[in-house]
């Protein structure tokens, strides 16, 4: 079915949304802005706003598929589980906002997974990393194309990692209540207050997206956001491989034997946490694991003396499994021990060079109206100052090179200097 072609949003001088004028949608951004949607926040939501059965879900999503994009959000709990527990899905299309109860008895989420994974329209989120993680671990796949309004806001100079409520207020002038932010989303039935809070998120996300997408296109930065989305839609970003779990531990210059213990014990804990669906520290805390790695016990009963483990741990199923993993690491022949991670030799970064790069970054970020952190991190600046020039250095690739990297190299090579003119900081060719 042909997508609806609502006209694009205009931006007023006070940076708020204007009513759309009649013209063709922006094909380059896959943008078909919707007519203004009335937010039910603060009102009693319609009973039809919560979908609890598969047939209703499939029917409602057929309407969503007629648009060029949908706004999405999720509510979840993970304080007591390893895997995030999906508790509510919120969707807004040009016909309005609605929520889906994934905990309802008579619902199969397959129509929703088909929408986010197979439908070619744009899926719009704010700060989508955790939403993407939920989708990936539920299905083994990731949505595409995706638009993250937090990333877009950083590209457009709204600051580093701006909160959703702040972005909504800046763009639409609306103030969102935070009253239900720390609610228990797994408890049923959901209250009208909870549902209204949840629906407000996605309903406001539509005008926020339209505003940002239009501004990105006007300023020629749509591709910048697409580059960032490539990272957020890479499965490697969300893979939780037990073989790499040891990298989460704060090991300080381990020996090869200590590294073998770390790999074995962290792998065991990760697999156990995944199997039992409990947080890692519910199996055993990092501090206790590090103590075992650096000062291995002589006999199983010694495990009970670890702080935070408790008496009788060594005789429990988890204690016996830990001991087995530890003994396997201890039995590894010396020649088979894992090699220590290679550290790239890095020359010390001259602090004056780092300071000059910081100043340049501040100037160029302000000039481009982009959040500085999105252009380069402190580590990036130190690597540049120390002489690194690899293609894995973000400021030397893509749009970042045009905004900052080219001038950063010129500054370090003496072809550019920072000076003062009439009391203002200026860049001059050397």
Using the predicted structure, report yes or no on whether residue 32 has a pLDDT greater than 60.
no
Above 80 in pLDDT, residue 11?
no
Q: Is the domain of 214 the same as that of 252? A: no
Are 249 and 268 in a shared domain?
A: yes
Instruction: Measure the CA angle with vertex 186, ends 182 and 191; round to 5°.
Output: 70
Do 14 and 114 sit in the same domain of this protein? Answer: yes
What percentage of the chain has pLDDT greater than the value 90?
77
* pTM > 0.85: no
| Residue 183 confidence class, pLDDT cut points 50, 70, 90 | confident
Domain count for the chain, please give it. 3
User: What DSSP assignment string belongs to 346-398?
Assistant: -PPPPHHHHHHHHHHHHHHHHHHT--HHHH--HHHHHHHHTT---TTSGGGSH
Do 247 and 323 share a structural domain? yes
Q: How many CB atoms lie within 10 A of CB 130?
A: 14
DSSP letters spanning 96-142: EEEEE-TT-TB---HHHHHHHHH--SEEEESSTHHHHHHHHHHHS--
For 342, phi then psi, to 5°, come to -75, 135
**207 pLDDT exceeds 50?**
yes
C-alpha distance from residue 333 to each of 99, 322, 326, 385 (Å): 57, 20, 14, 42
For helices 222-232 and 192-218, what crossing angle results, to 10°?
130
Q: Are residues 208 and 311 in the same domain?
A: no
Q: Clarify whether residues 288 and 233 are in a common domain.
A: no
Looking at every residue in the chain, the average pLDDT score rounds to 88
386, part of any domain = yes
Residue 267 forms part of a structural domain: yes
Domain match, 20 and 95 both: yes
Mean pLDDT of 323-351: 87
**388 in a structural domain:** yes
- In a domain? residue 37: yes
pLDDT (0 to 100) of residue 225: 96
Quick check: is 343 in a domain?
A: no
Evaluate whether residue 255 is within a structural domain: yes
| Domain that includes residue 394, residue range | 351-429
Whole-angstrom Cα distance, residue 421 to residue 430? 15
């Amino acid at each position: 079915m042909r997508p609806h072609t609502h006209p694009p949003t205009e931006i007023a001088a006070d940076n708020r949304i204007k009513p759309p004028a009649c013209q063709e949608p922006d094909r380059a951004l896959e943008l078909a802005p919707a007519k203004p949607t009335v937010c039910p926040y603060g009102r009693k939501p319609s009973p039809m706003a919560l979908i609890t059965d598969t047939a209703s879900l499939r029917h409602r999503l057929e309407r969503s598929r007629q648009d060029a994009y949908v706004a999405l959000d999720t509510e979840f709990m993970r304080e007591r589980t390893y895997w995030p527990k999906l508790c509510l899905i919120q969707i807004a299309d040009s016909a309005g906002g609605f929520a889906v109860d994934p905990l309802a008895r008579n619902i199969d989420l397959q129509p929703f997974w088909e929408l986010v994974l197979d439908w070619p329209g744009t899926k719009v989120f704010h700060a989508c990393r955790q939403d993407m993680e939920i989708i990936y671990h539920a299905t083994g796949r990731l949505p595409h194309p995706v638009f993250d309004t937090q990333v877009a806001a950083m590209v457009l100079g709204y600051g580093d990692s701006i909160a959703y409520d702040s972005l909504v207020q800046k763009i639409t002038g609306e103030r969102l209540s935070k009253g239900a932010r720390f609610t228990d989303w797994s408890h049923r039935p959901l209250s009208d207050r909870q549902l209204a809070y949840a629906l407000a998120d996605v309903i406001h996300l539509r005008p926020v997206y339209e505003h940002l997408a239009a501004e990105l296109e006007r300023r020629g930065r749509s591709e910048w956001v697409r580059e960032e989305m490539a990272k957020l839609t890479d499965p490697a970003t969300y893979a939780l491989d037990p073989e790499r779990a040891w990298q989460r531990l704060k090991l300080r210059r381990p020996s090869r034997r200590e590294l073998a213990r770390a790999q074995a014990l962290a792998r065991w804990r990760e697999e156990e946490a995944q199997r039992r669906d409990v947080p890692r520290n519910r199996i055993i805390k990092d501090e206790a694991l590090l103590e075992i790695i650096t000062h291995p016990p002589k006999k199983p009963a010694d495990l009970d003396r670890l702080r935070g483990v408790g008496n009788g741990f060594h005789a429990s199923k988890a204690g016996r499994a830990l001991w087995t993993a530890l003994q396997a690491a201890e039995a590894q022949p010396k020649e088979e021990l894992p090699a220590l991670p290679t550290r790239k030799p890095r020359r010390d970064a001259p602090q004056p060079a780092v300071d000059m790069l910081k100043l340049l970054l501040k100037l160029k970020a302000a000039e481009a109206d982009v959040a500085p952190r999105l252009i380069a991190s402190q580590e990036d600046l130190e690597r540049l100052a120390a002489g690194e020039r690899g293609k894995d250095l973000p400021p030397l690739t893509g749009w970042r090179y045009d905004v900052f990297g080219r001038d950063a190299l010129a500054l370090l090579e003496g072809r550019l200097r920072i000076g003062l003119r009439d009391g203002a900081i200026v860049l001059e060719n050397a």
